[in-house]
Structure 1
C-alpha cells in the first residue's frame, strides 16, 4: 500500500488553474521532496492533501483511504506543518501542545508526556513554560514539528517550514525529520530550496502546476549539478 497516491488531480481558483493533472505516489517510510519555485503549486497541493481544499478533479488516497470518500481515516494519519505558522502566540509552548493533544483525544497526562519527549528530541524542552511569542522563528518551527508528531501520525507533511531560518536551524529540522523515516514515518517535504535535497531522497519537481519530473534525486541531474538541471527544467516555456 502506498503512503500517498494522487491521480489526475487538477484544481483552480476562478479562471486561474493552480494544478494540472498531477499524478504521484509515495512509498511508506520514504522522504519525498516536493521541489518547485515559488508559485509552482506546492501549497495548493498540500492544502488538497490535508483536506483544506476539496479537489475539483482527481483523487487523493492516504494509506488506501480516499480523502473524498473516506476522509476521517485518511486525515487521522496525518501530521502537518503548514507554510504559515499556526501556533497561538499568547499561549505557552506547553499549552499549545496540550490543546493539540486534546483535539486528538489524548488525556492531559499522556499528551504532556508525549510533548516532553518530542520537544526534547528537538532540543526545546526547556522552553515549555515560555509563551510562543517569546521564541525565535526557528524555535517556533521546532515546536510546530513536535506538535505535528504528538498524535504519532504515519505521515508528516511539511510545507516550506525552513523558509527564513538560518543554516543551522534548517539543518537541525531536516536531520531530525529524515531520522524519523528510519522509524517508519512517511514524509512529504515541500520546498523551493535546492540545498535541502539529498541524493537518496525521492524527488518530485513541480512547475506551473504540473509534475515535470519524479524519481530518486540522484538520478535527476546526471552529468550536471542539481541547480543547473532544475533551472533548465523550470525555465522551459511549456
Structure 2
C-alpha cells in the first residue's frame, strides 16, 4: 500500500529555515551534493544549537553518512554552506574543524593500546601538553565510568565500553560540536541505552551541540531537536514532540513512516 503525503503537511513540519546565531554549533544552508550525476543531498538546511541533543533520523540510504562526510570535509561541494561554531568550513578549513569532535560508525581505536594510550595519542595530535592531556583524560574517563579500565587494552573491552572511549576521545579538545554517526550499531540493548543516556546528558553538562545520526526511533526523546532526512531531503525539523503533534494523531514511529514512505509519483518513476 502506498501512503500519499500532503505537500502542505510537509511544509508545516519544516517551519522556517534557521538563521545564523551565536548559539549555533552547526548551521547548514542550502546544501546539495551528487555522486557523478546522481543527487544524494538536495537543498538540506538545519541548525544544531549548543547545549542541545539533535537527532538526525533517516532510513538507511537517506544521505546521513554523506552529510557527515561533507561536514568533516571528507567530501566537498560548492552548493550550499556549512558553518561550525560560526566558521565557514570552505573558507576557514582546518580552523573550522578544530571545533569539531566526531565518532564514526566504524570503530577507530587501536585495539592493542590501552584506553589511556589511545586517548593520550589523540590529545598529543591536538597539541595538548602532557599535563593538560592527563587532566582531560582523567576527567573524561571518570565521566564515562571508565577510570578503572584506563590501563586495559581496548581489545579486552566490550562494544559498549569501546564506544565510551571513542566518545571520551572526541571530547578531549572541548569541541563546540560533536557528531556521532550511528554510534550504537552492533551494541546490545543495555549498552545502547547507556550510551544514549550518556550523550543526552553531555549536551547540557558541556554546552556542546550534539548531532546524533540514527535510524532507530527509540533513541530519540520528546524534547530532542529532530531533523528527519529522506531521499536526501529534510522532510521535517523542529522539536520531536512538536513534529509529532503537527503531523496528526500518533507517535514518532507513525510520523516517520508517513514521511519516509514513497509517494505514488516517485514510486511510479522508480518503476519506469
Q: TM-score per shorter chain, which class?
A: over 0.9
1:188 to 197, 207, 211: 211
| Structure with greater helix share of residues | 2
Pairing 1:225–2:251 present: yes
Partners of 1:6 and 1:22 within 8 A in 2? yes
Q: Aligned-pair distance for 1:117?
A: 1.6
Partners in 1 of 2:36 and 2:113 — Cα distance?
37
C-alpha RMSD of the superposition: 1.3
Partners of 1:81 and 1:144 within 8 A in 2: yes
TM-score, reference length from structure 2: 0.84
| Aligned pairs for 1:143-182 within 5 A | 143-182=165-204
> Within the alignment, does 1:3 sit opposite 2:25 as a pair?
yes
Out of 166-175 and 67-76, give the one that drifted further: 166-175
1:209 to 222, 227, 232: 232
Show structure 1 runs of 4+ deviating over 4 A: none
* 1:35 counterpart = 2:50: no
Distance (whole Å) between structure 1 residues aligned to residue 40 and residue 78 of structure 2: 11
Question: C-alpha displacement at 1:139, in angstroms?
Answer: 0.9
User: What SS does the corresponding residue of 1:69 show, helix, strand or coil?
Assistant: helix
Deviation at 1:167, TM superposition (A): 2.1
Q: What is the alpha-carbon distance in structure 2 between the residues aligned to residue 128 and residue 178 of structure 1?
A: 23
Number of residue-to-residue matches in the alignment? 238
Q: Does residue 120 in structure 1 map to residue 146 in structure 2? A: no
Q: Secondary structure at the match of 2:80?
A: strand
Q: Distance in 2 between matches of 1:192 and 1:97?
A: 29
Structure 2 CA distance for aligned equivalents of residues 27 and 120 of structure 1: 26
Distance (whole Å) between structure 2 residues aligned to residue 41 and residue 23 of structure 1: 13
Aligned to 2:260: 234
Query: Quick one: distance in 1 between partners of 2:25 and 2:44?
Result: 16
**Helix, strand or coil: the match of 1:214?**
strand
Q: Hey, what's the Cα distance between the residues in 1 that align with 2:77 and 2:142?
A: 37
For normalisation by structure 1, the TM-score amounts to 0.95
Shift of 1:194: 0.1
Alpha-carbon separation, structure 1, partners of 2:160 and 2:203: 22
The structure whose Rg is larger is 2
Aligned residue in 2 for 1:81:
103
Show structure 2 runs of 5+ residues with no match: 1-21, 267-272
